[in-house]
Amino acid sequence: MSDIKQKCKELLHVHEIDIFSEIDFNVNGDIHTLSYKYIIDTYMKASEESKLVFLTALKKASESKNIGINKFFEGMGQLLLMTHLSNKIEV
């Protein structure tokens, strides 16, 4: 496991947030459920620079306690879904 990924998980642990917490997204009537773990794992497939940006943003969100962290994962999940769905669209 990468050091950055471990730091993300530790940050959630420090704030007593379950890494298996899930967020439901309604996309055109279809419900997509993403866990915090899935979101972290997916972003950890990016470049080292992108991983550092993710960790830095998560640290900043953690300064706002649970509300900030929850909003952070909502935004990151939405971005993942938009990217995934846009890749499926044929032009």
- Quick one: pLDDT band at residue 88, thresholds 50, 70, 90? low
Please give the pLDDT value at position 91.
46
CB neighbour class for 69 (10 Å; exposed up to 12, middle 13-18, buried from 19)? buried
And the tokens for 75? 């935004």
pTM (2 d.p.): 0.86
Contact 32, 25 (CB under 8 A): yes
pLDDT tens digit string along 33-78? Answer: 999 999 999 999 999 999 999 999 999 999 886 679 999 999 999 9
**Number of domains into which the chain is organized:** 1
Range of the domain at 9: 3-88
- Other C-beta atoms closer than 10 Å to the C-beta of 43 total 21
- Other C-beta atoms closer than 10 Å to the C-beta of 44 total 17
